[in-house]
Amino acid sequence: MKAIVIGCGRVGSTVAHELREEGWDVVAIDEKEEALGRLGEGWDGGFVVGHGMDTSVLRRAGVEDADAVVVSTDGDNTNIVVGQVVQKRFGVQCVVVRLLDPARAEFYASQGMRTICPTSNAIERLNDAVRSCIVPEPARTA
């Protein structure tokens, strides 16, 4: 199985690593060559320098026979457009797109995009954490 991770920051590089460890063929794409450093010295997957909007970069990474693509650059709108291009132009079935803005994440999810919103997750977790801190009122003694 082959996966492409577009945007190799903290999130992308870790996703790439975990998939690689699970036995996937992984190619990471990032605009900056320094991003390769995040993958570590022992990285034995692929790495392509370039922008996700550039179809020649996507082709070089092997998008045409990818089984899954993770889009996790630091730009929500770039992720939205690249995710659609990968799905519609190259017919990749499994495209997962990270969006920081909950409003856009919700709208594009309603359009059929598989969006992951770390912001919404953080809000839920924070609220849960606060709720679990509340000391229950002492039970009334009779």
Q: How far is CA 142 from the centre of its chain?
A: 56
- If one asks whether residue 60 binds other proteins (CB under 8 A), the answer comes out as no
In the list 54, 94, 100, 118, the residue contacting other proteins (rule: CB under 8 A) is 54
The one among 4, 16, 66, 80 contacting other proteins by CB under 8 A: 80
Any contact of residue 120 with other proteins (CB under 8 A)? no
Does residue 123 belong to the site contacting other proteins (CB under 8 A)? Answer: no
Please give the sequence-ordered ranges of beta strands (E in DSSP) within the chain, or none if there are none.
Answer: 2-6, 25-30, 46-49, 68-71, 94-98, 114-116
Residue 46 CB burial class (10 angstroms; 0-12, 13-18, ≥19): middle
Name residue 114's amino acid: R
Q: Are strands 2-6 and 68-71 parallel, antiparallel or unpaired?
A: parallel
Query: Are residues 85 and 91 in contact, defined by beta-carbon separation less than 8 angstroms?
Result: no
Q: Is 101 in the site for other proteins (CB under 8 A)?
A: yes
Give 3 or 113: the residue with its C-beta nearer to other proteins.
Answer: 113
89 binds other proteins (CB under 8 A): yes
Smallest distance, Å, CB 54 to other proteins? Answer: 7
Interface positions with other proteins (CB under 8 A): 53-55, 75-78, 80-81, 84-85, 88-89, 101, 103-104, 107, 111
